[in-house]
A and B are shown apart, each in its own frame.
Chain A
Amino acid sequence: MNTVEDGTQGDVLAGEEVAHGATPSTHARLTAYVRRGGVIVPILTAIIAFVVGGLVVLVTGHNPFSTYRAIFNGTGLNWLFPWVGGAARKTAAFDLQQTLIATTPLILVGLAVAFAFRAGLFNIGGQGQYTVGGIVAVWIGSSFAGMPAVPHIALAVVGAGAAGAAWAGIAGALKATVGANEVISTIMLNWIAIWGGVYLFGLGGPLQDPHQPSVPVSSTVKASAKLPVFWGNAQLQGLHIGLFIALAGVVLFWILLNRTRLGYEVRAVGLNPDAASYAGISPARNYFRVMAICGMFAGVAAAMDILGWKFNLFTNDIQASQVGFLGIAVALLGRNTAVGTIAAALLFGALQTGTSDRFLDPSVFDPNLASNLTLMIQGLIVLLVSTDVIALRVLRSGRGVAVALGRRGKRQEPRA
């Protein structure tokens, strides 16, 4: 009787593939932690990250509480509190619109990373896919004058999605054919996309705005391609319908994963590629499909930004943008799930708005400092999520996890 093995089974967390010599994929591990710790764990992780961020703020001589309060005030989330009224409410409304504008692309790039994780892949290439999507969106949006709104927007969005899908598909195809590690290839594709964009819209570049020859910027998106605003004033950049497109994306994500054959295959490959190939599912073919879908999400994210509020693309923008990388934090914090992605995207969207120089009172805290603070918090969240151990230990369900972690990797049949 395999006493030790039987003893292990009960403690192995559902979702931990304790395969011979193989370590669980990131997602398999996250699934396990979700089953153990529920939704509290990511919240706790975020709190810990904020606390550490606060310590950094303290070390440089600022008050973390007032800093965080100032950031919070800029997010507009206080609009949700019914007791806030009058002028403060109007400001909060505006702030909240901006937060949601920032949240929209984050949801989509979060999905772009989460979907990949579910398949056992790491899509660091969100930034490049976003960039390529943005290039196509701005090009379509600024061309085709005279096209009615609906087809124009649709064309731009579809084009952006397709471009992102193709860009990601390169990495997927490379992985599927020659087994090239998708981390390296997507990182390289990121930079190629960025420099490609700088070339296209730079001075003398082929897609530079002919009406502004001394500015490295693209042509401006035509009015027919702009996303309609449904809350707030269009002139003052209210909230556009892109939010609904993002939410639709979330629904699509969930349906794809849980109700389709494709999703079944993707999840199988992500949780146990050997079992999947044994069942006739080709991991290679799935890698390509998965990356393409991820790229599509990222490309559409860019379309939301371009058609929703940017309306053109500066080379500076291309080089400075971090949206794709934020997507990694969003996906991980959200545990690669549909609902989690929305919540995490909202958090980071709020942080982004709250720390931007339009909304943060510089006398309280320098916005440049604040954006770097966000980066640090982001890094901490990703770091902590990669193990979740700390948060779980805090919850004191650590005991079960510690036992399981201690068992993981042990020879499967301890030939006792």
Chain B
Amino acid sequence: MADSKRPALELRGITKKFGSVVANDRVDFDVYPGEVHALLGENGAGKSTLVSVLYGLYTPTEGEIVVDGRPVTIDSPATAIGLGIGMVHQHFMLVPVMTVAENIVLGQEPSRGGGVIDMRAARARVRELSERYGLAVDPDATIEDVTVGAQQRVEILRALYRGARILVLDEPTAVLTAQEVQELIEVLHRLKRDGTGIVFISHKLGEVLQVADRITVLRHGRKIDTVPRQGATEQSLARLVVGRDVLLSVEKGPPHAAEPMLVVDDLHVRDDRDLEAVRGASLSVRGGEIVAIAGVDGNGQQELVEAITGLRAPTAGRVLVDGRDITGRGVRAATEAGVAHIAEDRHRRGLVLAFTLAENLALREYRRPEFSRGGWLRIGHMRSRAKRLLREYDVRGGGADAYAASLSGGNQQKVAIAREIASDPKLLVAHQPTRGLDVGAIEFVHRRLIEERDRGRAVLLVSLEYEEVRSLADRILVIYEGRIVGEFAPDASEEELGIAMTGAGAGARS
């Protein structure tokens, strides 16, 4: 278990400010060799900032870092690596076109002279590490051809190759299947036995309880408490994380389901790399119900949503909205058929930050006669409608002529949602609608979606957040490798869903 001698790493009183914003406020944190210390907290609690400080990406405003008993200054990743700190990032830091071996040795390439890389030695070392810790990889495979789970193994190997004695894992399970999560836990056990100290960052309470020896909770940049795993429960942790008793579900009545508004029939869609991402998905959503699509990221959700909303043409199959076939006919056809789309990333797809709110609110409907006639814009109309919508959705931060960029994240999402719902759609597609939002904004979005459902709209929710899916959906569809592999009621257990998400019992559980 934990080596009770000196901690391998200590962060003492770390404070990090960005201007007037305090991201970390006098945080203490330490890791002993051979233990897993979890760092838990909501989005925005300060977890990523803390480890960025540790990895040399930020310099702390105050506080000190002590490694093996000696105070150190970490001013760059290179320094951190030199001190034996390795990091496995949430968004992988691998070069897609290079091979596994090349990525692992990058920066410390073995060479027999003249700078020419000795690839044989590199491969051998990779294999050696791979066997030792149970991290199966093919050294000559290109990163972009390899699964997400394998990519993570490469990230870990990269840190180990550089002699990491302290390994930081930032939300490692966000993109893994249930089986891959178990494999990762195995790897962590082996690393622990070897004396490596592990920092495990997560916001998933269940996993943290499975993996950690100690758990530190951050909230609003401050350390709330450090507790041992013994005696901790999901409820006790949740209370620490949020600061109040958390309602794990939203109040909602039963659905009044009507006619099918959306019918997707044997849909095949190819992704940007011309690989089949959706391979024969079929589903239907009735008016007055919320259907959620759950699954591990990368199983075709994105392409499915794009096909339904008209952003991407399927290669086969049909998409029918209220009986109208809009397959492959583009966004305009979908909009005219009554499809509204709350996009995955409001800055990329939802809003034009340099447009005014009035212009943004007209973004999907500017072609309608109310807003433009014969090629000319009717600006007065746009503005008056905008004023009405901003009032109705209680958007703070600016009026119809304010620039979208000057609003906060939550208010921007309100604008995006206002726009979509105001077009009186038959089908509302919400793709990760609460990503990056604070708790208050999330509550607003959830309430609104249920309101729209109660008004008789069909709602298709695509989300990676298990809790969101559970609390909002009337039916849960699981997508795996481009197919709908199971339908569940909202009270299905995480285990049932998890099994479906990995391909209907394909993975063996211990």
Contacts and interface: CB of A to CB of B under 8 A. Distances in A.
Q: Is chain B in direct contact with chain A in the complex (CB below 8 A)?
A: yes
Interface stretch (B46-54, B228-236, B494-502): B46-54
B348 A413 contact: no
Contacts of B350: 275, 278
Given A1-B220, A4-B44, A271-B355, A261 B409 contact: no
B438 A1 contact: yes
Contact of B23 (A4, A259, A261, A274): A4
B170 A268 contact: no
Interface in A271-301: 271-272, 274-280
B341 A278 contact: yes
B335 A6 contact: no
Contacts of A11: 19
Which one of A3, A22, A413, A415 has the greatest number of beta carbons of chain B within 10 Å? A415
A14 B41 CA distance: 31
Contact of B375 (A1, A15, A261, A274): A261
Nearest to A267: B355
Contacts of B49: 4, 414, 416
Contacts of B345: 19-20, 412
Contacts of B19: 7, 11, 403
Which one of B50, B341, B377, B405 has the greatest number of beta carbons of chain A within 10 Å? B405
Contacts of B43: 2, 413, 415-416
Interface string A1-45: 111111111111111111110100000100110000000000000
B347 A18 contact: yes
A6 B331 CA distance: 32
Nearest to B419: A279
B351 interface: yes
Contacts of A18: 347, 353, 405
B488 interface: no
A7 B18 CA distance: 8
Nearest to A10: B406
Given A3-B21, A272-B348, A415 B406 contact: no
Interface in B13-65: 18-23, 41-50, 52
8 contacts: A1-B439, A18-B347, A31-B354, A32-B354, A258-B377, A272-B348, A275-B363, A413-B436
Contact of B18 (A4, A31, A267): A4
A259 B48 CA distance: 45
A20 B377 CA distance: 30
A271 B221 contact: no
B405 A6 contact: no
A14 B402 CA distance: 9
Contacts of B21: 3-4, 6-7
Interface stretch (B268-276, B277-285, B364-372): B364-372
A262 interface: yes
A195 interface: no
Interface residues of B, number: 62
A395 B174 CA distance: 46
Interface string B278-315: 00000000000000000000000000000000110000
A280 B364 contact: yes
A411 interface: yes
Contacts of B438: 1-2
B213 interface: no
Given A17-B354, A272-B352, 15 more contacts: A9-B406, A9-B409, A14-B403, A14-B405, A16-B405, A31-B354, A258-B377, A263-B377, A264-B372, A271-B353, A274-B349, A278-B311, A414-B52, A415-B48, A415-B170
Nearest to A403: B19
Interface of A: 1-20, 22, 28, 31-32, 258-264, 267-268, 271-272, 274-280, 403, 411-416
Contacts of B335: 280
Given A14-B353, A17-B353, A416 B436 contact: no
B23 A416 contact: yes
A226 B220 CA distance: 73
Contacts, number: 165
A13 B405 contact: yes
Nearest to A35: B403
B407 interface: yes
B189 interface: no
Nearest to A7: B21
Contacts of B471: none
Interface in B406-420: 406-409
Contacts of A278: 311, 331, 341, 343, 349-350
A252 to B, nearest CB: 13
Nearest to A3: B21
Interface string B304-340: 0000001100000000000000000011100100000
A11 B436 CA distance: 18
B54 to A, nearest CB: 13
B279 to A, nearest CB: 25
B68 to A, nearest CB: 27
Given A261-B372, A280-B364, A2 B47 contact: no
B182 interface: no
Contacts of B359: 264
Nearest to A9: B408
Given A3-B44, A13-B405, A261-B372, A20 B348 contact: yes
B180 interface: no
Complex A-B, nearest 7 residue pairs according to Cβ-Cβ distance, in ascending order = A7-B21, A280-B331, A2-B44, A14-B403, A15-B354, A278-B349, A280-B332
Nearest to A14: B403
B362 to A, nearest CB: 8
Contacts of B226: none
Given A20-B347, A278-B331, A261 B170 contact: no
A407 to B, nearest CB: 8
Nearest to A411: B91
B435 interface: yes
A68 B403 CA distance: 42
Contact of B376 (A19, A261, A415, A416): A261
A271 B352 contact: yes
Contacts of B409: 2, 5-6, 9
Which one of B348, B367, B406 has the greatest number of beta carbons of chain A within 10 Å? B348
Given A15-B405, A17-B354, A272-B352, A416 B372 contact: no
A7 B20 contact: yes
B310 A280 contact: yes
B34 to A, nearest CB: 27
A261 B368 CA distance: 11
B408 to A, nearest CB: 5
